[in-house]
Amino acid sequence: MFIGEHIHTLDGKKRLSLPSKFRKELGKTVIVTKGLDSCLFVYSQKEWKKFAEKLAELSMGQGDTRAFSRYFLGGALEVDIDSAGRILIPDFLKDIAHLKTKVMVVGLGSRIELWDEERWTSYQKELEKKADVVAEKLGDIGMI
């Protein structure tokens, strides 16, 4: 399980070091894809397979589900983790997440999210303002 926030630097060759405590669970190859809220999602191959299988179960007759599948699957890439624990972030994904030099690597259970540091800070501030409302909604569906 991936948890915690880690700040790392995207180098001039668009390589990002992953936290050492995440690497063992990730394996040697990860899937990087477009995320939501202007971030990237990173999955181990095992977790990606589970996610992709769930997407495959969605009805192709519904426009929203086709679009959702296209968004995540069409933008996904297999990326090798090098011997230094780094992954290469392609330009098109770097641009989607507006990644600059400082990148927040955030563990969220079955996946990792990559955020531009400034965007992450801004997002966190907004989330803190409405955390009680979110908690109430989660309580309504029995999550907390």
Residue-averaged pLDDT of the chain: 94
State how far the Cα of 94 lies from the Cα of 39, in Å rounded to an integer.
9
Given this model, what pLDDT does residue 60 score? 81
State how far the Cα of 23 lies from the Cα of 21, in Å rounded to an integer.
6
pTM score, two decimals? 0.91
Given this model, what pLDDT does residue 13 score? 97
Given this model, what pLDDT does residue 124 score? 93
Measuring CA to CA, which residue among 56, 85, 80, 82 is closest to residue 69? 56
pLDDT at residue 143 greater than cutoff 80: no
Residue, of 137 and 80, whose pLDDT is higher: 80
The domain that holds 74 is classified in CATH as 3.40.1550.20
Give CA separation, 62 vs 19, 26, 68, in Å: 39, 33, 10
Q: What's the domain range around 63?
A: 2-116
Reported confidence tier of residue 49, pLDDT bands at 50, 70, 90: very high
Reported confidence tier of residue 56, pLDDT bands at 50, 70, 90: confident
Positions of E strands within the chain? 2-9, 15-17, 29-34, 40-44, 77-80, 86-88, 102-109, 111-116
Residue 123 included in any domain: no
Number of domains in the chain: 1
